[in-house]
Structure 1
Amino acid sequence: MQIGIDSFVATQNNQDDATAVANLLDRIVAADEAGLDLFALGEHHRSDFLDSAAHMYLAAAAARTKNILLGSAVTVVSAADPVRVFQNFATLDLISNGRAEIVAGRGSFVESFPLFGYNLSDYQELFKEKLELLLKIRDEEVVTWRGKFRAPLNEQAVYPRPKQQKLPIWLGAGGTPASFVRAGTLGLPLMVAVIGGQTHRFAPLVDSYREAFLRSGHPETEMRVGLHSLGFVAKTSEAAHQGFYPGYKQMFDKIGKERGGAPITEAGYFAQAGPLGALVVGSPEEVAEKIVRHSAALGGIDRFTFQMDMVMNSPDGGGHEGQLEAIRLIGGEVMLLVNQ
């Protein structure tokens, strides 16, 4: 199983943004040195996160790393120009010598729609059309295409082409059943974001992905499932929760207030961090056991990624240094335990 980190480049209390970006690049280098398989960056257009142009950070990281895959988590295709998305990541692939990937998705925030002049009522149609074009550009050097939301392309060549013969494009999915079926029908690897609740509730959706994949005639060897979860690793369980919970509560209390939800309680948090909950927080042994349980619940997964951004604003045991320690523990202990 591949194991890596997803980051949204969260801002930190009382820290300037340039320092936050420098620390991010140091963490990507640390992940490469620790032997992690992947470091991926999301896309948001709000003050909490600095990842609106994630491919720029990934390109900087590509020049400082050797082996780690560099990807998106996710690229909000609905509000982007697929031509530019492909060009950006094809360029990253050249800089990194064939280590670029895309996770295409719709994201969990909607600020990008008004920012780039799109109507939220077109949410479904935008994603379907733009994903179709992105895949066509990936598969065909010279493209003829017509859609509703973008100017047509008539025998238009799109450059540069990536180093990899076929730039990897995963489809990111939350809890929408149609997204799982779409990924299978298109023959794309599937990245499942499990933020809350219990992971096993996604098992029927993952089954529908696998069924659609095989029913559509795609090679079973290309069928892959990844899992993105909030998590953190420290030397002891107590230290992990101490480093994770305060920042987790701060982040999700803010998001909950925006969306009309209730504040996070300590009891609710520990329910989520328990054996069946979605949070993957604890010592290396505890975390490895939970990843293995999550994999079994979904019929086996090929990739697991930690989202640790909320520890940036935990005053004790979190922050940049806490993430660096977590990365070392993931590479030095968790990966060995999961893959033994």
Structure 2
Amino acid sequence: MEDYRINKENGLEFGLYSLGDHMPNALTGKRVSAKERIDQIVAEAKLAEEAGLDFFSVGESHQKYFVGQAHAVILGAVAQATAKIKIGSSATIVSTSDPVRIYENFATLDLLSNGRAEIIGGRASRLGLFDLLGYNVNDYEELFEEKFELLLKINENHRVNWEGNFRAPLKDAEVLPRPLNDKLPIWRAVGGPAESAIKAGLQGVPMTITLLGGPLPIFKRSIDAYRQSLKMKSYNPSDFPVATTGFFYAADDTKTALRELYPYVDQGMKLANGTGYHKRLFANGADMNDVMLVGSPQQIIEKMIYQYEELGHQRYLAQIDFGGMPFEKVMKNIEIIGTKILPEVKKYTKGK
């Protein structure tokens, strides 16, 4: 597991992820400038490091209401503003980018950050970028699988010979620069279905699985399938970490947390995906068996520990700046994580 820069002796890693959301405040309708929004993301990363969090990531998006189109550039600013926190993508859309350019960008980021960069490679959940970047959405699956395999091959080999369907062949190609320690941690992003989790296991790569809402057993089945598929390829599952991601919001109590968060999540889903979050389904987030981490600090601690026991994952990434969530509320939540939640979660999971 040390190959992926995760030491289980330090307990469950806690990180943040941002999609580069640039939406108006769901309650006031006001929206900051693109510059201010990018500055906010860098400030969130700085505070996350000060609060003792382990990881900070920015996702790639190519549509209205986002500023994360050049997410590697934003992460470069994060690298310069921080000193210790690990940084990465959440996710890099491998399907519509050239793997050579992805590797060049993140190897450079790794050098800038003194060996802190990681890649989470994913497929697009929003499909408009295929036309924008010149790809055919009908090649959705084939584009990702071929390009992700090439990205992994570049990471493993100093010189690459490769031929596929979507780009010119590589003949004894040397991809430079190399990362600080020669290789990058490259994770596969999974939306939840077991089929995608199985593919991650068969490839022998760590998995980041999205848990936006719903009963925990559904996602446990996918994680179990991932580990079983690792075994099928004679990999040791304990060598491959699992990260979970999802909505997070802390307040005085669960009722208040759900009430305050809902307008932002609902608006964010509408603007990003065209459909809001059903209010009754969202209310299920109060249940201990629902994957959403929303409530009082103590309730979130109990739920995180419960999920840790059930899933056996090594990293959790909280999405706390979605739907135009006010910057001051985001920063307050980072403070709560650092002072109230993280110490208890680390104490319980350390050394397990």
* Most deviating of 244-253 and 127-136: 244-253
User: Counterpart in 2 of 1:312?
Assistant: 324
User: Counterpart in 2 of 1:325?
Assistant: 332
Match for residue 175 of structure 2 among 158, 162, 165: 158
User: Counterpart in 1 of 2:28?
Assistant: none
Q: TM-score, normalised by structure 2?
A: 0.89
How is 1:73-84 mapped onto 2 (pairs within 5 angstroms)?
73-84=90-101
User: Counterpart in 1 of 2:71?
Assistant: 54
User: For 2:298 and 2:178, how far apart are their aligned partners in 1?
Assistant: 42
User: For 1:180 and 1:12, how far apart are their aligned partners in 2?
Assistant: 31
How far has the Cα of 1:55 moved from its partner? Answer: 0.8
How far has the Cα of 1:278 moved from its partner? Answer: 2.8
**1:191-244: per-residue Cα shift (whole Å, max 9, x none)?**
100112222212222111111112212344422111011111235445533431
User: For 1:12 and 1:93, how far apart are their aligned partners in 2?
Assistant: 30
Q: Would the aligned equivalents of 2:194 and 2:221 in 1 still touch at CA under 8 Å? A: no
How far has the Cα of 1:145 moved from its partner? Answer: 0.4
User: Counterpart in 1 of 2:288?
Assistant: 275
**Which contiguous aligned blocks of 4+ residues in structure 1 show a shift greater than 6 angstroms?**
none
How far has the Cα of 1:91 moved from its partner? Answer: 0.3
Q: Tell me, what secondary structure is at the counterpart of 1:39? A: strand
User: Counterpart in 2 of 1:4?
Assistant: 15
User: For 1:57 and 1:209, how far apart are their aligned partners in 2?
Assistant: 31
Q: Would the aligned equivalents of 2:215 and 2:289 in 1 still touch at CA under 8 Å? A: yes
Q: Would the aligned equivalents of 2:47 and 2:331 in 1 still touch at CA under 8 Å? A: yes
User: Counterpart in 2 of 1:213?
Assistant: 230
How far has the Cα of 1:113 moved from its partner? Answer: 1.1
* Most deviating of 123-132 and 104-113: 104-113
How far has the Cα of 1:12 moved from its partner? Answer: 3.8
Q: Would the aligned equivalents of 2:126 and 2:272 in 1 still touch at CA under 8 Å? A: no
User: For 1:30 and 1:291, how far apart are their aligned partners in 2?
Assistant: 22
User: For 1:78 and 1:264, how far apart are their aligned partners in 2?
Assistant: 27
**1:20-74: per-residue Cα shift (whole Å, max 9, x none)?**
1111111100001111000111111111211111111111111111111100111
Match for residue 289 of structure 1 among 302, 324, 329: 302
User: For 1:273 and 1:153, how far apart are their aligned partners in 2?
Assistant: 51
Q: Would the aligned equivalents of 1:234 and 1:329 in 2 still touch at CA under 8 Å? A: no
Asked if 1:337 is matched to 2:344, the reply is yes
Change (3 A) 1:30 1:253: same
How is 1:105-116 mapped onto 2 (pairs within 5 angstroms)?
105-116=122-133
- Residue segments in structure 2 that go unaligned for 5+ positions in a row: 1-11, 25-30, 348-352
* Most deviating of 156-165 and 289-298: 289-298
Q: Would the aligned equivalents of 1:174 and 1:192 in 2 still touch at CA under 8 Å? A: yes
User: Counterpart in 1 of 2:192?
Assistant: 175
Q: Tell me, what secondary structure is at the counterpart of 1:155? A: strand
Q: TM-score, normalised by structure 1?
A: 0.92
How far has the Cα of 1:312 moved from its partner? Answer: 2.9
Q: Tell me, what secondary structure is at the counterpart of 2:177? A: coil
Q: Tell me, what secondary structure is at the counterpart of 1:180? A: helix
Q: Tell me, what secondary structure is at the counterpart of 1:48? A: coil
User: For 1:190 and 1:178, how far apart are their aligned partners in 2?
Assistant: 13
Match for residue 117 of structure 2 among 90, 100, 106: 100
* Most deviating of 34-43 and 104-113: 104-113
Superposition RMSD in Å = 1.7
How far has the Cα of 1:179 moved from its partner? Answer: 1.8
Q: Tell me, what secondary structure is at the counterpart of 2:208? A: strand
User: For 1:69 and 1:182, how far apart are their aligned partners in 2?
Assistant: 26
Q: Would the aligned equivalents of 1:55 and 1:89 in 2 still touch at CA under 8 Å? A: yes
How is 1:17-36 mapped onto 2 (pairs within 5 angstroms)?
17-36=34-53
- The sequence identity of aligned pairs, in percent, is 35
Q: Would the aligned equivalents of 2:55 and 2:86 in 1 still touch at CA under 8 Å? A: yes
Aligned pairs, number = 330
Q: Tell me, what secondary structure is at the counterpart of 2:324? A: helix
User: For 2:92 and 2:213, how far apart are their aligned partners in 1?
Assistant: 21
Q: Tell me, what secondary structure is at the counterpart of 2:105? A: helix
Q: Would the aligned equivalents of 1:234 and 1:325 in 2 still touch at CA under 8 Å? A: no
How far has the Cα of 1:274 moved from its partner? Answer: 2.5
With a CA cutoff of 8 Å and minimum separation of 6, indicate the structure with the bigger relative contact order. 2
Letter in 2 for 1:307: Q
User: For 2:270 and 2:118, how far apart are their aligned partners in 1?
Assistant: 32
* Most deviating of 137-146 and 268-277: 268-277
Match for residue 192 of structure 1 among 202, 206, 209: 209
Q: Would the aligned equivalents of 1:93 and 1:164 in 2 still touch at CA under 8 Å? A: no
Q: Would the aligned equivalents of 2:200 and 2:226 in 1 still touch at CA under 8 Å? A: yes
